[in-house]
Each structure stands twice: as C-alpha cells, then as structure tokens.
Structure 1
Amino acid sequence: MINATSNHFKSQIMLTTIFDEPARNQLISRINLLNENNQRQWGKMNIYQMLGHSIFWNEWILGKNDLVCKQSFLGLIFGKMALRGMVKDNSPMKKNMPAGAAFIGKEKDGDIETQKKEWMDLVAGYADFSNPGFVHDFFGKMSREEIGILAYKHTDHHLRQFQA
C-alpha cells in the first residue's frame, strides 16, 4: 500500500498497488478463478480476448515486448490530469474505458488455461519490476507508484468485467 496524504482532507489513504505482495496474490487468485463460463458484464471483448489484452498490456508495462509508445497529443494535454484522477484513491476504473487498438487481439478463441497462466506469471513479475523509462501512450511518463496503482486497477477492472 502507498500512503497518499490529501492536503484538502489532511488524512491518509492507503492506495492499493500491484507492487504489494498481498495485492498481487489476490489478483492471481482471481485470475485463476476465470473460465469459459465467465460472461462479460460490459465491453466487446470475450474472455479469451480480454486475457490476451491483459497479457499484452502487462508485457508492455513490464517492458517485456518491443512496444515503445510516445505520448499522444491528447495525452499531452489531458494525460497528467486524468492520471491524477485515476490514482488518487482506490475507486475502481470506470466501465467501458477505451483501449488502444494495438492492445486488442484479433483472435477470438484459444486455450484459456494457457492464457491465465501467462497472465498470472506476469502479475507475479511485478515483484521484480524494473522499467523506469516506461512511457504510457496517454498518461506519459509515470512514477513507480503511479504504475503500481494503474497496473492494479487495470487488472482489477478486467477481473470485475468477467465477475472474478
């Protein structure tokens, strides 16, 4: 958990981050619950596409693929403000948040168990996170704390999407 002090309320909020082992373990347990019977609650991706999206997204954050992004023009204008709003508390990400086209796979079905294992391994990999030069395509350069909160929220978002 990360302590965030609110100047307005002069209180401390414990923010959940994927860098905390209990949070990672909880996410991994939830991923393990997924199966072909989980139905999406919103969005267009089916479970296999969501798993592929989550794998690709986490590989990007962890620096395990060759995807290097520059911050978009709209991100330059609104990115930091949007990021501050997203990482200020433990509220979940909103439903139907847009995903960049590069992050949505074309394959619609395949081996869910293999995808789950790969995603769980990536989540576990945040214990050894080392990608200080990461630049988000919308939010831009992010601190380690911001990355940890966003990665937790993104994973939680897709698990809630499929009732896990």
Structure 2
Amino acid sequence: MKSLFEEAAHTEILSRIGDLTSESEGLWGKMKVGQMLNHCQFPLKIGLGRTNTYNKPNPMLKLMGKFFRKSLYDDKPWRHNLPTAKGLKVTTDKDFETEKDKLVVLINDFHQEKHKTEWDPHPVFGHFTPEQWGQMQYKHLDHHLRQFGV
C-alpha cells in the first residue's frame, strides 16, 4: 500500500488534485467536487491533531471502528458508496478553489510529519503505526480522487 509519507505518492496525490476542475463530476456518490475536497480534509486534520470532530465517539462507532480498522490501510480498494460517518459528511456547497487550497496545505503538512514516530491514537480506531497513518491517508485520498475520475 502506498503511503502519503512517500515522496512519489505525495507527488502523485498533488498532481491528481491538480487535475480536478470546478466542473469535475463524481462517478458515484452524492458529493460535488468542492464538498469532496472539504471532506478529504477531515482525516488529515485528525491525524495532525487539528480537529475535535470525534471528541467522544459512541460505543457503537468504536465497535464498528474495530471491525473496519484493517481496511483503512490494506491494499483492497474501498467499495463505492460506502456510508460516511455523520461528523464527516459535507452537505453544504463548498468553493472549489478554497477547498482545494486548504486540502493541499493539509496534505503537505501531513507529509512533513513523515519522520514522526509517536502519533496520538485515532479517536475511533485507536493506535496506528506511523506507516499505517501514511497508508490510510493515501487510501482515503485515492478513493475520493478515483471517485472524481483522477
């Protein structure tokens, strides 16, 4: 599995984001491109400790987290139209350029953490190795970029 900590994967993701336009349409799902760019910021903010979206996840969410944990960083692509956690849904329109710029900054900030050895636990999924953090960030971005055909 590729990792957002790898130079080639980092460059690839940024290039694919650069291929998006405000007119890009999803091949599945309900999000518009600006909403997708906003949605993709959440996991990066969680990894960087810049959000409190999941302060106290309910027991059911934690149980589901244990069930899906390995799928976050394995090589198997996610199915289309997977449900999105309530706190990560984006239902309002978002400006494409603004959200694109914010996402690129977060991707670059996350990539700069490639030598970090200690990570706070994910609020739902628990502890991950640095390698797993990089892999799951890549996998999430890849999933949504494929959703929009790039």
Query: TM-score, structure 2 length as denominator?
Result: 0.83
Distance 1:92 1:151 in 2: 13
User: Which range moved further: 51-60 or 41-50?
Assistant: 51-60
Equivalences, count: 147
Q: Which letter maps to 2:148? A: F
1:21, CA displacement in angstroms?
Answer: 1.3
Change in 2 beyond 3 A, CA 1:71/1:135: farther
Q: Confirm or deny that 1:132 pairs with 2:119.
A: yes
Q: Distance in 2 between matches of 1:87 and 1:152?
A: 9
Q: Which residue type is aligned with residue 128 of structure 1?
A: Q
CA drift at 1:68: 4.4
Q: Does 1:95 align with 2:71?
A: no
- Pairwise CA RMSD: 2.1
* Match runs of 1:153-164 below 5 Å: 153-164=139-150
Per the alignment, residue 128 of structure 2 pairs with 142
Separation in 2 of the partners of 1:87 and 1:108? 29
Gaps of 5+ in 2: none
SS at match of 1:135: coil
Matches within 5 A, 1:39-58: 39-58=25-44
Which 4+ runs in 1 deviate beyond 6 A?
A: none
CA gap of 1:51–1:85, structure 2 versus 1, over 3 A, is: closer
Identity %: 29
Check the 8 A contact 2:17/2:145 in 1, yes or no: yes
The question of whether the paired residues in 2 share the 8 Å contact of 1:63 and 1:134 is answered with no
Secondary structure of the 2:40 match is helix
Larger strand share, 1 or 2: 1
Relative CO higher for 1 or 2, CA cutoff 8 Å, sep ≥ 6? 2
